[in-house]
A and B are shown apart, each in its own frame.
Chain A
Amino acid sequence: MTTVLLNLHNAGFYELNSMILAMGICYGGAAQIIAGIMEWKKGNTFATTAFVSYGLFWLSLVALIVLPKIGWGAPSNDTAMAAYLAMWGLFTAVMFLGTLRLNRLASTNSIA
């Protein structure tokens, strides 16, 4: 849901607004981290890694947008953002290899 809402912004339907930040902190962030800890309790390493990682990805995305506004750090330039997104792309590509052992709708972001 957060993924769809963020990409409605990327597709030009609205500006990067508080609704996206709020969903990023709460559902993309906190909810996925909780899900990851639940999966860890069940011994599912792949799901734990995926949920906790993408949960913290969302919190880091919100933080990199908010930190410059509250004076904690310099804004990220295009090179920094490209490096950030490419690292998450690399991580996700390796995790995709893991889904080859799972099912066709294993995208963890499909719900959160």
Chain B
Amino acid sequence: MILAMGICYGGAAQIIAGIMEWKKGNTFATTAFVSYGLFWLSLVALIVLPKIGWGAPSNDTAMAAYLAMWGLFTAVMFLGTLRLNRALQVVFATLTILFFMLAIGDFSDASPGFRQLTGYEGIFCGFSAIYAGLAQVLNELFGKTVLPLGPVTK
């Protein structure tokens, strides 16, 4: 189920959204959607490739490096959201924390309790992203602020 959602909604849907944003000239949204879409596909690939004999499984150090790189990318993208809105700031801040918590978890062979805490942090991050995405759809449709995003005054 997770792999299927990773390929389809996390992967393909975000890449499609990213190409749509590119056509509209939104560089930040293009970079974010295409990058996280391909992140999801890379995550599924690193899980599946060893199973179908294409490569060796990734050890903890490799996974920590992978997650830390995505954490670094997300941290810089978070700086971009400082010019956008509060909702996206929450999404990118909690996603940065999530990537580094996952990296630390793999690197230090963390306790089950720490991994569980990481999971709850990730659940919060995911729901915040659902809110930010659907709020934009509803606000545009109703032509007013139905779900507040907290835009930053430029």
Contact = CB atoms under 8 A, between A and B. Distances in A.
A89 interface: no
B9 A53 contact: yes
Contacts of A94: 134, 138
Given A33-B16, A67-B4, A94-B134, A72 B52 contact: yes
A67 B140 contact: no
Contacts, number: 80
Contacts of A37: 16, 20
Given A90-B130, A98-B138, A67 B3 contact: yes
B129 to A, nearest CB: 12
Contact of B140 (A40, A45, A52): A45
Interface in B10-38: 12-13, 16-17, 20
B9 A60 contact: yes
B12 A59 contact: yes
A98 B1 contact: no
A73 B47 contact: yes
A72 B48 contact: yes
Contacts of A97: 138, 146
Interface residues of B, number: 26
A46 to B, nearest CB: 5
A73 B4 CA distance: 9
Interface residues of A, number: 35
Contacts of B138: 94, 97-98
A37 B51 CA distance: 34
A68 B1 CA distance: 10
Nearest to A45: B140
Contact of B130 (A40, A80, A81, A91): A91
Interface of B: 1-5, 7-9, 12-13, 16-17, 20, 47-48, 51-52, 130, 134, 136-138, 140-142, 146
Q: Which 9 A-B pairs have the closest CB atoms?
A: A63-B4, A76-B1, A64-B4, A60-B8, A56-B8, A60-B4, A73-B3, A59-B8, A56-B13
